[in-house]
Chain A
């Protein structure tokens, strides 16, 4: 069978065939992150926190932005990962960092799979509430099982082994942490990027856009959502594990509604379902929070709230959506 020129010349076919291709501009965030390391050595603690938030937001984007699984309890998996690393280290069972990430991913993924089996029978508001409940349950377990989790105080001074046996994690001078987190983020990002451009990722978008139709084209919708939720949970678990390793402690804040809501805000701010929304959103959120809280220490969240209202009213696609809208006329002119 020979391909007729009509088909391969079609703009839609061309666009689809090149959409996954790597663009030069995509190196920009990574170069900036590296430059940050050299330019702001005193802010690396802030930078590490930012990179972890980015990873967490990307994991949420996969579930919420791509597959359309609305959740308010994604910190459940962040916390599962963080507590896995924390408990293993505190009780001197496992202190090697890199393999610790895999263990955390497996545990968080298992929690995601088990809860997904039950929760993903529902949609919408019910799902939102149930994800919130799941997180609340985990938080309460972490609070009650003080013997192993440290309860309300959490676990501190975690003995994390040096990275590759060489690079020490120093909580005061987080050089190692920053580069370590950046490296893990890059690997996870490439993984998610591959996923969302694959036929599987395409079908996730399909389930977000029209679940009924996905059933009607013969897709095993529920199983596919569960798999996506599990992967997303595992990545959130890695983010949590990084947080525990970088800070050398865990406490109940890793499992709270605060964290779950923040990552949601980050994603909405940056633009969900866009891969780079998590990165842009995390930078925007962290920088805003940083400066607003300096300027108005008591009322800084008001500014953030107003911004969110504005985004919800006028820019549903977040910051990246606004950029899209602004550049569309130019792109269309170029295409003609």
Chain B
């Protein structure tokens, strides 16, 4: 197995605050990897470093072995690194279909086209409908975002990202805020992701993480605190201590 996405001694500081400290991390092809940690552990900062929203203070980010430190956010998406957001970032005034259309149009290079009607790109519409059918969103494809339940909105968040056909998928708390009665639709969708995609999931929800992940990395105060299989992490007394709020200054 080759590493899809890798970081080497990655650090990020905001003034005196070290949000990411010396993180060396590898995401394998087809991985189901989870990143967990208490609030303020630097999980979202780490995602922002991977996607190019933030530039690292030190260290490197590599995609398939080549350094992408200087590759811009939009270019990284084109390489195949896509993310979802912890808080929905959707095109609220548009229909579900139009939301997904946006992503697919960018990926297939239709978006710069100024003179052909968007509705004549049948290939884009078909692909979007296919994706929505797969995620069981086809019957509400005509609705605008505010008309949907929060769980469905989270699903659209995922649909937009899948429209980019990513090789690396970074899921930032995909089920956050979704009422438990609805959370199964998100979990089912994540379970059904293509096997070839390397998935990194960031979450607090231990049920979700343990159901889904083959490997878990624990981040505490910006640094890697522990890494291993779900069984190892579950049995690790120090990790349990961190999650019970008894973390001491070692580590």
Contact = CB atoms under 8 A, between A and B. Distances in A.
Interface residues of A, number: 38
B106 interface: yes
Interface string B121-165: 110111001100100001001100000000000000000110110
Interface string B54-91: 00000000000000000001110110001101000111
Contacts of B73: 215-216
Contacts of A19: 117-119
A36 interface: no
B112 interface: yes
A209 B83 CA distance: 18
A16 B116 CA distance: 13
A199 B91 contact: no
A12 interface: yes
Given A16-B101, A202-B101, A205-B94, A219 B106 contact: yes
B89 A16 contact: no
B249 to A, nearest CB: 36
Given A7-B130, A194-B115, A215 B74 contact: yes
Nearest to A198: B114
Contact of B111 (A12, A195, A203): A203
B196 to A, nearest CB: 20
A328 B141 CA distance: 19
A218 B106 contact: yes
B218 interface: no
B123 to A, nearest CB: 9
A199 B107 CA distance: 12
A19 B101 CA distance: 14
B89 A197 contact: no
A203 to B, nearest CB: 5
B118 A201 contact: yes
Contacts of B44: none
A112 B183 CA distance: 48
Given A10-B138, A13-B97, A200-B113, A18 B164 contact: no
Interface in A89-113: none
Given A16-B118, A201-B118, A210 B74 contact: no
Contacts, number: 147
Given A200-B114, A203-B111, A216 B102 contact: no
A199 B74 contact: no
Contacts of A219: 74, 106, 111
B53 to A, nearest CB: 8
A12 B126 CA distance: 11
Contact of B138 (A6, A16, A195, A199): A6
B189 interface: no
B98 interface: yes
A15 B142 contact: yes
B116 A203 contact: no
B111 A200 contact: yes
Contacts of B94: 205-206, 209
B102 to A, nearest CB: 5
A195 B117 CA distance: 8
A233 to B, nearest CB: 16
Given A206-B91, A219-B106, A16 B98 contact: yes
Contacts of B122: 3, 17
A20 B113 CA distance: 14
Residue picked from A6, A198, A205, A220, most chain B C-beta under 10 Å: A198
A199 B128 CA distance: 14
Given A1-B126, A203-B111, A212-B89, 15 more contacts: A3-B126, A7-B126, A7-B129, A10-B97, A12-B129, A12-B142, A16-B118, A16-B119, A194-B114, A194-B115, A194-B117, A216-B82, A216-B83, A217-B82, A217-B163
User: Closest 9 interchain pairs by CB?
Assistant: A218-B77, A20-B117, A12-B141, A12-B142, A209-B91, A12-B97, A7-B129, A17-B119, A213-B89
7 contacts: A3-B122, A12-B95, A199-B118, A209-B90, A217-B164, A218-B74, A224-B112
Interface of A: 1, 3, 6-7, 10-13, 15-20, 194-195, 197-203, 205-206, 209-210, 212-221, 224
